[in-house]
Amino acid sequence: MTHVYRYRDGEPDAVDTVDQWIRSATYSYRIRLGNDLDDLVQSIHMELVRLLRSEQLKIETSFKAYVWRVANHRAIDQLRRLSRQHLMQELEDSIASQARSPFQAMVDLQTAELAFAVMKRAKQACQDIWHRIVNGESYEQMGKALGMNAGALRIKALRCRQQAAKIRDQLINEKRNKNATLSPLSTRSRT
């Protein structure tokens, strides 16, 4: 617990140690975060200091484990935010580009129809989670609203993604089978 108080009080050795913990915890995200990694590390420091000074921090394990957990959760949240920003930018670019080819418009429509069909066949719990993700809620916010802890919710979201992939594959196979039976080549009569 001495690291906690030394870090809270801003002792350089303790701050350097915690900074190393944060950077170790976020190391696997460094490529995807790019230039945003340093901002993320700084925001984690700010959050930790704020919690320590307000005495809202309840450490059940070691301070290092707590720092590691906070850093990982913040990195994942940051990646989700960046992903949403990227998707919004793509959407804006798509809207700005009015000169889409008819083929691309057809592909976009088919993709949207497939996504809608997947959503219709998915379990209601999965639909709720996806709507919350699209609306930008963090796993912590969704967990509170759905009465689950964030870790269990991440597993549930993964299972929903797996279920959606299976449903998508089923729909694609159904369409292929239907098209194969309607194909003029398959109904050609022998003369």
User: What is the domain partition of the chain in residue ranges?
Assistant: 1-99, 101-191
The mean per-residue pLDDT over the stretch 186-191 comes to 49
What is the model's pLDDT at position 91? 65
30 contact partners, CB below 8 Å, separation of at least 6: 37
Following CA atoms 15, 16, 21, 22 in sequence, which dihedral angle do they give, to the nearest 10 degrees?
70
pLDDT average, residue stretch 127-149: 85
- Is residue 146 within 8 A of residue 155, CB to CB? The reply is no
Is a pLDDT exceeding 50 seen at residue 36? yes
pLDDT at residue 190 in the model: 47
- Name the fold adopted by 1-99: Rna Polymerase Sigma Factor; Chain: A (1.10.1740)
Find the range with the poorest average confidence among 64-68, 155-159, 180-184. Answer: 180-184
pLDDT at 191 over 60: no
Q: Which two tokens stand for residue 115?
A: 């996504």
Quote the pLDDT of residue 180: 74
Instruction: Give the three-class secondary structure for 15.
Output: helix
How far is the C-alpha of 45 from the C-alpha of 37, rounded, in Å?
12
Dist CA 84 CA 10 (whole Å): 35
Enter the pTM of the model.
0.44
Rounded Cα gap, residues 111 and 105, in angstroms: 10
